[in-house]
Chain A
Amino acid sequence: MTESLAFLLAGTLAAATPLLFAAMGEVVVEKSGVLNLGIEGMMATGAVTGFVIVAQGGAPGTALAAGALAGALLSCVFGALVLVFLAHQVAAGLAVGILGLGASVQIGKAFEGRTIAPIPRIDLGPLSELPVIGRALFGQTPMVYAALVSVLLVWWFLNRSRAGLVVRAVGESPSAADAIGYPVAWIRFAAICFGGAMAGLGGASLTLAYTPLWADGLIAGRGWIVVALVVFGAWRPGRILLGAWLFGAVSLLELTLQGIGLAIPSQLLSALPYLVTIAVLAIISRDPRRLRLDQPVSLGRTHVPRA
């Protein structure tokens, strides 16, 4: 029983990590008023880039940075489409997402099915051996802690920093920000690049720390879960963190429940995380005023800059 609990706690934190990185990026992007649905492709390019570098002998640090860079580069295409070519954000996100997925499979062709040594977990001796919470709190890979730090940093950025305030202003009313003189397009572009980099980092942490191998389909829909998490968490980093933990916990709970041998069809258990997400989403969104307070007003709308 305690072992199962330990597994759930540790596993949830680890499983949430790639989601958190990408979600922290996406929340900044959405706060600036842009909806990026191409996260899956950006995570994929980050994942394959990081993997390929380590598979060829590179250091994990380099690989993570390269993964972030790959995600950022792909997001530049998205940024160009949305900000320069004034394309519809939904379409542009999907297009770039597909491009990223295709590119990642092609790049990773020669490495399909390979494994690499994962980034090792830290070992704090007796602390890591504590029952139930030892592994969860003190025996994770550095990526898990980095993800939690990123949540703090993004929270601080959005709520306590001047730059974050500008980003939020752009998201609330781009025309007002434009009128004041802010370069709306550049601010959004910077946000998009940050979002892409974080998505790439999330993908890289998946292949370098969580499941250290590469194959087509490794991202397995996480990019869409990230989009859901941002809405879930009402664009607040703290809530997004809770949402990521909830989703991760329910996904792992499915496996634990299967192992117990209940007479519930396993397919129903596999569907459980999605059903729970829908239910919680409905509960969270039901107050329209609350939603309007948190949702950036201009989210998804194309802003045409003044001539």
Chain B
Amino acid sequence: MTIPVPAPVLMRRRPGYRLVARIAPSRAAALLVPCAAIVLTLLGGAVLFALLGQAPLAAFHAFFVEPLTTRYGIGEVLLKTGPLLLIAQGLAIGFRAQVWNIGAEGQLLLGAIAAGAVALLLADVEAFWLLPLMMLAGTVAGAAWAGIAAWLRVRFQASEIIVTFMLSSVALQLLYYLVSGPLRDPMGMSFPQSALLHDAALFAPLLEGTRVNTSLLLAFGATAIAWLFMQKSLSGYRLQVGGLAPAAARYAGFAERRAVWIGLLAGGAAAGLAGVGEVAGPLGLLQRSISPGYGFAAIIVAFLGGLNPLGIVPAAFVMALIYVGGDMAMVSAGLSNAMTTLLQGLLLVSYLACSLFSGHRLVRTA
């Protein structure tokens, strides 16, 4: 059967506007787009609050202002920013190369398990090298978990979207198994959690009166590394000049295989390290629920930041603020936990819509 060809269609000329691609992304747009997205989200949020019978301004206050008015609140926002920022930096490296790591959640769990296991096995060690050892173990474990997907992609062309996601579910079952048996606290009344990690295995507190600890520095370190990589390496430079090149954005000069490995290992390592930060941070032990969805939320952060190391920083902060604000608003404004998800969805949708204008502009036609 031949492909049917429609009758010739006249090129319709419509007066008004049309989209023209820009030669290079507009600098002004880099700032305006996120601002416009935030404004749109706030507007959309206002409509939602009103529909739910909440006073929009009071709800906004509870969500966005209140967390930043107390030391504890700021601390909580920073506490959440850390892992989001760290993981998003790792993921963005892969996303820029069109390597889609959807399983950061599982890689985080592997990192947490590895670090926790090291700490529990070496429970008598008080030396300074324990924590770095845990960080190494966690980073390697997370990277290895992602590496499975890389290997399957390189060797079998298996889609990494599917493999990384499936491995997340497997990682969760592994965690359940370990905290129910091999790593369970023998003094813990048979509950499925490990013993508490001793002090030498925990990150030091960073801000008095908050839960913020030194693992936050890891996130900034990762940002610096990612930025250097973008700025200084040849491939990073090419990406920057060419803008966010879609489709064919492989690291020019690298084989596709190397891009897959680097992309997935970077994401896995970052997620694994974030897992260490959770276990050796606010949790202080291994239990069934370790991550409140950081792996998945970091994907949103990476996109919100325009896949740019510097842009990801404020994106992580905004997402963390929405999370923390949402938790607090559940109590102070009686809002449901769905509001957090809705606002995050709105933010990303608005951002993506507004991003059109960083690569295109409206031109008036005759």
Q: Which residues of A contact B (CB under 8 A)?
A: 37, 41, 77, 80-81, 84-88, 90-92, 94-103, 105-106, 109, 162, 165-166, 169, 180-182, 216, 221, 224, 227-228, 231, 265, 267-268, 270-271, 274-275, 277-278, 281-283, 285-286, 288, 291, 301-302, 304, 307
Contact = CB atoms under 8 A, between A and B. Distances in A.
A103 B47 CA distance: 13
Contacts of B181: 265
A265 B173 CA distance: 10
A81 B353 contact: yes
Nearest to A112: B336
B348 interface: yes
Nearest to B176: A267
Interface in B1-27: 1, 3-6, 8-9, 18-21
Given A85-B355, A92-B352, A102-B339, 8 more contacts: A77-B349, A94-B299, A98-B348, A103-B338, A271-B170, A282-B155, A286-B156, A307-B19
Contacts of A182: 6
Enumerate the 5 nearest inter-chain pairs by beta-carbon distance, A residue then B residue, closest first. A99-B345, A102-B341, A102-B342, A95-B348, A105-B338
A54 to B, nearest CB: 21
**DSSP majority for the B interface?**
helix
Which of B9, B21, B156, B300 lies at the interface centre, i.e. has the most chain A CB atoms within 10 A of its CB?
Answer: B156
B337 A105 contact: yes
28 contacts: A80-B353, A81-B352, A84-B356, A85-B356, A87-B352, A99-B348, A101-B345, A102-B340, A102-B344, A103-B338, A103-B345, A165-B3, A165-B4, A181-B5, A181-B9, A182-B6, A221-B169, A227-B161, A267-B174, A268-B177, A274-B170, A278-B152, A278-B158, A281-B152, A281-B159, A282-B152, A285-B157, A301-B246
| Interface size range of chain B in the complex | 35 or more
B173 A98 contact: no
Nearest to A108: B338
Contacts of A227: 161-162
A84 B19 CA distance: 10
A281 B344 contact: no
A101 B170 CA distance: 23
Given A94-B303, A274-B166, A275-B170, A282 B156 contact: yes
B315 interface: no
A165 B166 contact: no
Nearest to A229: B162
A243 to B, nearest CB: 11
Nearest to B161: A227
A196 B155 CA distance: 33
A214 to B, nearest CB: 13
